[in-house]
Amino acid sequence: MPAVKSNRPVNLSMGQVLDVNLKSPVAIASILHRLSGVIVFLLVPVLLWLLDKSLSSPEGFAEVQAIFGGFIVRFIVWVFVAGLIFHFIAGVKHLLADMGFAEELESGRLAATISLILSAIGIIAAFVWIVL
């Protein structure tokens, strides 16, 4: 048995990582904040193209209206709006933490839980408004 503790990194399986992280609302909020940022980043060009097309001419506007008649496009727009809603609410939570609010363990968990609940309400409302 070595007298010195090894500082070598430990390789954890994805199951072990998820088992630990899915129990913490702070970890869930952090992971979803990153994921929502990626979603928004990837879908901005698509929506900018639709905006450009709709503003190009009356015919372009009619084409975009026809495109939005399909479920798939409305669903993609909802995914973008859902990502934007969550990213905004989690971003405000992070900004408040940077200013010194909800930095402690318990208040951070409460703030993460509140941000998850507010985001869920907004995302469900956006689904009803956009998709249905």
Q: How confident is the model at residue 120 (pLDDT cuts 50, 70, 90)?
A: very high
Whole-structure pTM value: 0.83
Confidence grade of residue 5 (pLDDT, cut at 50, 70, 90): confident
Indicate left, alpha or beta for 100 from its phi (over 0: left) and psi (-120 to 50: alpha).
left
Contact 96, 102 (CB under 8 A): yes
Which residue segments constitute the domains of the chain, with CATH numbers given?
17-131 (1.20.1300.10)
- Element spanning 26, H or E: helix 25-56
35 by DSSP, 3-state: which? helix
Q: Rounded CA gap, 15 and 21, in Å?
A: 10
Instruction: Identify the pLDDT of residue 1.
Output: 57
Contact yes or no for 100/16 (Cβ under 8 A): no
Question: What DSSP element (H or E) covers 73?
Answer: helix 71-98
Q: How do residues 53-103 score in pLDDT, each as one tens digit?
A: 999 999 999 999 999 988 999 999 999 999 999 999 999 999 999 999 998
